A and B are shown apart, each in its own frame.
Chain A
Amino acid sequence: MTHLEALEAEAIHIMREVVAEAENPVMLYSIGKDSSVMLHLAMKAFHPAKPPFPIMHIDTTWKFSEMIDFRDRTAEELGLDLIVHINKKGQDMDINPFVHGSAKHTDIMKTEGLKQAIDKYQFDVAFGGARRDEEKSRAKERIFSFRSAQHRWDPKKQRPELWNIYNSFKNKGETIRVFPLSNWTELDIWQYIHLEKIPIVPLYFSKERPVVERNGVLILVDDDRLPLEKGEKPMMKRVRFRTLGCYPLSGAVESQADTLPEIIQEMLLTTTSERQGRTIDFDSKSSMEKKKQEGYF
């Protein structure tokens, strides 16, 4: 058995456990490459049936428009039940990453939005595409990760996970985040996408796109909400994205890679890590742990 076959079997095992034991599971779908892999695995796990749960996107309203197109097309082609949730309160407050800053924007539109949606639909288990190799505090999170009724994560109270047995008994009000891709690395994800020909958002591939440069980061001019600063002019560059989120918060990289092998090659030869393109990690070294305790996915 190759390592990808082993990872694939493990993820499918985890998904089936959840479906057998959860009351009302949901798959969180962020439209990124990890979500694409997770969804692909779900299609395999339950074939010939459809995955017996809806997929849900927490829309911050600042995603790349190509992501939204891709999301809707994917759900339709696969015949899946797609839930899109927007934090209406945040929308009414007109939360805007340019005005309120990235931290506040992420907190309100993403973290709060997710909590709201889970409460609203009464989901008890939510699949997420997080990987342990992404960040140090993720490396210590269990595959079945419990959240209190207040959606908080307590790293000191994690249940031991033995063999491939998962304890999904939960207390009143508790919910579970389940991470079927825990043991995958970025390279595994790319390689699997390549091998299985899994569709991904075209933004991962290099193309001429209009960008502006800010504090050394290339920001795509995705729509007219991007306030151009004085003297700033969008320029056309061959760029692509290593990681996708809200467009004002995702830095593009200059690249010629427009095929999967080229993307993988570039990733293997590059010397900065994947999350560096995301501005939310810069705050402090324990920032991810703090965010997670507060309920960030």
Chain B
Amino acid sequence: MVYIDDLIAEDIDLYLKKHEEKEILRFITCGSVDDGKSTLIGRMLYESHMLYDDHLSMLEKDSKQMGTQEKGLDFALLVDGLSAEREQGITIDVAYRFFSTNKRKYIVADTPGHEEYTRNMATGSSTADVAIILVDARNGIMTQTRRHSFIVSMLGVKKIILAINKLDLVGYSKQIYDKIVEEYTTFAKNALEIKEITSIPISALLGDNITSSSDNTSWYNGPTIMDYLETVKIEGKNLSNPFRMPVQWVNRPNLNFRGYCGTIASGKIEPGDKIRVLPGGKNSTVKSILFDNKELEIATSGRSVTITLEDEIDVSRGKMIVSAENPGGEADQFQAHILWLSDDAMMPGRQYIFKSNSQTASLNLGKLKYQINVNSLNHIPAKDLKLNQIAVCNIYLDKRIAFDSYKENKTTGGFIIIDKITNHTVGMGLIDFALRRSDNIHWQSIDITKEQRALQKSQSPKIIWFTGLSGSGKSSIANILEKKLYSMGHHTIILDGDNIRHGLNKDLGFTEADRVENIRRVGEVARLMVESGLICITAFISPFESERRMIRSLVSEDEFVEIYVDTPLEICEDRDVKGLYAKARAGQLPNFTGISSPFEEPENPEIQIDTTKISPEKAADIIIEFLSKNHFT
């Protein structure tokens, strides 16, 4: 590595001393495909003398082999790490790069321009202090430029460098540069919250205005890219913000010590400070702040510390220690901005996992209020949310959490959405504000309990949930089961397509989103039936594991009995009692389970019935036997 810093050779101790005092600046580069992001970063590494000889010789070899730059080095090859993208000449993932100068250490997220990888760009900007938005001078502002700028702004990046690149290809024209800057400024004024935008004319390929001012743009008097990065003020470490520390882990090496470990999200803390623990709201006083084997007099935002309190109060992972004077809120319902990151669309009504700092909860997404078209920035109505789309909606959690709005605090206002089945991170969200409702609506206190109602019926209430393909025999078995239970003196009710689709759910069609909503409503009705002490038998195809699991979670563990009526598709199709399969095969019924829509087999049903071997009569007996064994009466 060839630093130009003479100190290294002359006085290494002094150099190290200076280097210890550097700060970190994180920035991202984004823009449209082929705008030259990787080239810019490669150029910065090169100009900062951060390249080793062997890297350089490999680069020379690769440049020749790929033949993309006749004249010389192709810096993009240096940065585009994965072999697939090296061959295609595009960046397909976030790459992190590091370099340092005498003043700062830089962490660069090189993020992709293709629309399908917008999620990676959002990843890069979630931690960035500055965004460099590249624009190809020949093309001007593109759809992707607007999209990325909007995301960067939404994620709370405070500063933008608008780098107008490839200026060499338009003869270093001031006119073209000015026109693009003007267009972008107008766009930003209307659409972005970022107010600090610095425009710089560059050629990443040739090095104009990257580290030193270029003679080719004598009409430009502003900073070079590096000038700007070296001197820009790093925000986000404002110590006057109220104190927040999500508790990650409780340290209890012995009975005499109980410390709460976490990373300070904002503000500062000193021993003697009054704090509150949210959710819950117990107050206490900071006894000590520990880091390693030292006691600190003060700890500030960004530090990972261990705090002990004067009082023994209940603090565990998922709680947040906050300033007692300025505690922020706790709630379980919010309005939020959501950016979808998964190929599988987001379904309102489906249950997901919510994770914000160390807090996890079950999440229901409400109906979308509107989707934001990031090209026009118009609000448009939408039923579901697909990859890379942004919407505003209400979210409902199964418990109260401590929070701030994202605008006030990224750590306590940002969250990720996790799919319960695949465990993938499928979305990200920003809390706008808590809905009043959760503060004002308290559960009606009910004097007669479920247990008392059940006692009156001399039965233990249940949801007996049949699932299986259309024509598998769900309704036949359910009917026989109900007759048998009735004759045993039980109070039952059947919910099926006939009494639900024609009444409660007649507004719903058969799209995936509507089917999710259909089952959600059935689940809620079934839950009420269980509350009233009844045995509720349902017969719906209910093809998705996540919906079935959601309904299971609505009632106590022993109140849900899942019965998988396992009949092979060929047999169901053969029977085709209602003629539906024939229609579906003829393409007249879209989204028909088994034909054009998947059936996810239950992972752990309580009972599985193979109808090729067992008659409906026998099946009903098996179910009753199961119920009897499980304290049914």
Does A163 contact B127, Cβ atoms closer than 8 Å?
A: yes
A165 to chain B: which residues have CB within 8 Å?
355-357, 414-416
Contact yes or no, B123 A273, CB < 8 A: no
Task: Please state if B1 and A262 are interface contacts (CB–CB under 8 Å).
Answer: no
Q: What size tier do the contact residues of chain B reach?
A: 35 or more
CB of B179 closer than 8 Å to a CB of A: no
- Nearest-neighbour CB distance to chain A for B500, whole angstroms, equals 33
Q: Which of A132, A139, A163, A273 contacts B52 (CB 8 A)?
A: A273
- Contact A139 B96, beta carbon cutoff 8 Å: yes
- B261 touches A (CB below 8 Å): yes
Contact: A16 with B249, CB < 8 Å? yes
Which residues in B have their C-beta under 8 angstroms from that of A44? 291-292
The answer to whether the Cβ of B279 comes within 8 Å of any Cβ in the partner chain is no
Once the chains are docked, how many angstroms separate the CA of A188 from the CA of B16? 11
Q: Is the CB of A13 within 8 A of B353?
A: no
CB-based nearest A residue for B51: A273
- CB of B428 within 8 A of chain A? yes
Partner of A3 from the list B23, B249, B292 (CB cut-off 8 Å) is B23
Contact of A262 among B12, B104, B252 (CB under 8 A): B12
Other-chain contact of B317, A8, A20, A138, A160 (Cβ < 8 Å): A20
Q: Is B119 an interface residue (CB 8 A)?
A: yes
Chain B 74-95 interface 0/1 with A at a Cβ cutoff of 8 Å (1 = within) = 0000111111000000001111
* B contact face: mostly helix, strand, loop, or mixed: mixed
Report the interface size for chain A: residues with CB under 8 A from the other chain: 69
Taking CB atoms, residues of chain B closer than 8 Å to A6 are 23-24, 302
B317 lies within 8 A of A169 (CB): no
Q: A163 and B248: CB pair below 8 A?
A: no
Interface 0/1 of A239-272, CB less than 8 Å to B: 0000000000000000000000110110111111
B3-A268 in contact (CB<8A): yes
Q: A167-222: which residues lie under 8 A (CB-CB) from chain B?
A: 167, 169-171, 182-183, 185, 187-188, 191, 194-195
Could you say which residues of chain A place their CB within 8 Å of the CB of B123? 160-162
Partner of B96, one of A8, A164, A183: A183
**Complex Cα gap A202–B437 (Å):** 64
Distance to closest chain B CB from A166 (angstroms): 9
Is B98 an interface position by the 8 A CB rule? yes
Most chain B beta carbons < 10 A, residue from A160, A271, A273, A285: A160
Q: Kindly state the separation between the CA atoms of A68 and B19 in the bound complex, as whole angstroms.
A: 33
- Which residues does chain A contribute within 8 Å of B492, judged by CB atoms? none
Question: Considering the chains assembled together, what is the distance between the CA atoms of A269 and B12 in angstroms?
Answer: 11
**For the complex, is A83 an interface residue (Cβ under 8 Å from B)?**
no
- B251 and A171 form a contact (CB under 8 A): no
Q: Which residues of A contact B (CB under 8 A)?
A: 1-10, 12-13, 16-17, 19-20, 43-50, 132-133, 135-140, 155-156, 158-165, 167, 169-171, 182-183, 185, 187-188, 191, 194-195, 261-262, 264-265, 267-273, 276, 285-286, 289
Sample (6) of A-B pairs whose CB atoms are under 8 Å apart: A1-B237, A3-B22, A45-B304, A135-B81, A160-B425, A271-B53
